[in-house]
Amino acid sequence: MSEKRKSFLLGALVGSVVGSVAALLLAPKSGRELRQDIKEGAHQVSEKTTNVIKQVGEHTSGWVEAAKDKVNNLREWRQNRRQEDEETFAQIASSKEDDKVETRELDEILK
């Protein structure tokens, strides 16, 4: 995950916690109601954080798998290409050898 994305998620999490606490503390409620609201707010933040972490993990693992597939496909393509190039060079070298043999034979015949 990129640093920008991590920073954004951390900022969003901290901002939501600070905003929730400020709203609860500034609301005209009794101590018992305030504590209950804080407890519920903390529970909600915990659930949301867990859900976000799961989603990020799922997306990240999917991206990692896709990247691995792309890398493997590229390696296979490169290996196949290398083999094709080696076969082509071998054919060219073989045809040059054949040409040399034919030239020698012609030279001997013409002598």
Q: What pTM, to 2 d.p., does this model score?
A: 0.40
In this structure, the dihedral spanned by the alpha carbons of residues 24, 7, 54 and 65, taken in order and rounded to 10 degrees, is 170
**Residue 38 contacts residue 22 (beta carbons within 8 Å):** no
pLDDT digits (tens, 9 = 90+) for 7-54: 887 888 788 888 877 776 777 777 788 788 778 888 888 888 888 888
Rounded to whole angstroms, how far apart are CA atoms 48 and 46? 6
What are the tens digits of pLDDT across the range 49-58? 888 888 888 8
Which of 29, 54, 55 is closest to 40 using CA atoms? Answer: 29
